[in-house]
Structure 1
Amino acid sequence: MIHNIARDVEAFTSNAFLVSPGERGDHGADGRTVLVDAGANFDAVSHLDGDIDHLDAVVLTHTHPDHVGNVDSLRGRFGVETWGFDASHEAVDHAIADGDVVRIGTDEYRALHTPGHAVDHLCLYAPDSGVLFAGDLVFAGGGFGRTDLPGSDRATLVESIERVVETVGSDVQVLHTGHGPSVVDDPSGALELALQAARTR
């Protein structure tokens, strides 16, 4: 079960996807309750209390402030550790390297280092279910991550999108993005559209 706890938040925040192995986030032997990105500028703890009583991990697609602002409050409430590409960042407790496999919910996700928007950007893809967490690499409607920020680069972003397109092909079933709506209708087409746009804009 995947639920964006930031869906109705009006403050500036990333999406924050709660992935749980069963109803109401019940802990199961075969799954882990994980928050993909922490969001910022809203009370993430209150959005989780009542739905879950624990978190196994927070996995970060990257460490821009809108994705990590709630990390400290989540650590305080759930005693949870965070995972991301750059373990030297204060918001990241443990590193996820390119190609590592991370268990989120009941699926095994392959981590893809996809810089361009941020040097520490990761996408996470589960081949068995076809679920892709794309962070700020691409968005619905052919959008793609900003490349006017420190550490960002358009050519590198294009290469990262190309890598994701090659990795997931037509097998991707749902695309969860760092901002805006998830894509459940032709997510592979949305990836191709974003790639074309990033190459030409």
Structure 2
Amino acid sequence: MTTVRNIAAGVRSMTSNAFLVDGERAVLVDAGSDFDAVARIEDATGSIDALVLTHTHPDHVGNVESVVEAFGVDIWGYDPDHPLVDHAIEDGETVRLGDHDFEALHTPGHKDDHLCFHSAEAGILFAGDLVFANGGFGRTDLPEGNRETLVDSIEYLLATLDETLSAMYVGHGPAVDSNPLYHVELAAQAAKMG
């Protein structure tokens, strides 16, 4: 059975959440920054099979080098031209995280290379920095940020999701395990108002 743990939990630094998805294929979704991700992975599962990125902002990739060095894993992300990305994941492509297949959704607006990962079977969404709990949504005031594009990406995400969604893991802040679809709908409304 797939389990998801935030190995960045409790860290007091400028880091994203970093989700260790355990199961048939142990995968780290985002590496976080400025904490000992290697030790936390070793304590939790001993090792990982791959590192998947929602996007390449520094707070999500700061620990990439140490994770790759420790576990010898390849890095998967949207932009194969980015120096950290070994293998491209295209929109609509399927990736194995834990015990389930997840559809990759290209969702720019916060950053051009942003991906969300959704498994209808598992009822899980990795939302990166697109949407957050309580209707929060990703910043658009950074390079490559664009509010209109972000709104389109949230709408694209909503078109993919349904009531079977039971857990949403976000790039910052708490995971949402109570009616996560409602939180995505709130984010869509809030982003349109800005």
State the TM-score bracket (shorter-chain normalisation). Answer: over 0.9
Larger deviation: 114-123 or 42-51?
42-51
Shift of 1:47: 1.1
- Secondary structure at 2:105 match in 1: strand
Matched, 1:140 2:142: no
1:149-194 CA-to-partner distances (Å, cap 9, x unmatched) read 1111000000000011110122211110000000011101000000
Query: How far apart, CA to CA, are the structure 2 residues paired with 1:118 and 1:6?
Result: 22
Q: Which runs of 5+ in 2 are unaligned?
A: none
Query: How far apart, CA to CA, are the structure 2 residues paired with 1:119 and 1:78?
Result: 28
Give me the identity figure in percent: 55
Matched, 1:55 2:48: yes
Shift of 1:37: 0.3
Matched, 1:196 2:185: no
1:5 to 2, 7, 14: 7
Q: Which runs of 5+ in 1 are unaligned?
A: 22-30
Task: Give the letter aligned to residue 193 of structure 2.
Answer: T
- The answer for the alignment partner of 1:96 in structure 2 is 89
Larger deviation: 42-51 or 55-64?
42-51
- Secondary structure at 1:3 match in 2: strand
Structure 1 stretches of 4+ with a deviation exceeding 4 A read: none
Answer whether contact 2:41 2:47 (CA < 8 A) is retained.
no
Shift of 1:53: 2.5
1:81-136 CA-to-partner distances (Å, cap 9, x unmatched) read 11000111111111000010000000000000000000000000001011000000
Query: How far apart, CA to CA, are the structure 1 residues paired with 2:83 and 2:103?
Result: 23
- Secondary structure at 2:121 match in 1: coil
Matched, 1:118 2:111: yes
- The answer for the alignment partner of 1:86 in structure 2 is 79
Shift of 1:145: 0.1
2:142 to 140, 149, 166: 149
Supply the RMSD in Å over aligned alpha carbons: 0.7
- Secondary structure at 1:111 match in 2: strand
**Equivalent residue pairs, number:** 192
Larger deviation: 86-95 or 100-109?
86-95
Shift of 1:54: 2.1
1:18 to 14, 17, 20: 20
1:31-67 CA-to-partner distances (Å, cap 9, x unmatched) read 2000000000111111112322321100000000000
- Secondary structure at 2:34 match in 1: coil
- The answer for the alignment partner of 1:26 in structure 2 is none
Task: Give the letter aligned to residue 163 of structure 2.
Answer: S
- The answer for the alignment partner of 1:158 in structure 2 is 151
Matched, 1:177 2:179: no
Answer whether contact 2:41 2:48 (CA < 8 A) is retained.
no
- The answer for the alignment partner of 1:36 in structure 2 is 29
Query: How far apart, CA to CA, are the structure 2 residues paired with 1:109 and 1:54?
Result: 21
Query: How far apart, CA to CA, are the structure 2 residues paired with 1:88 and 1:179?
Result: 26
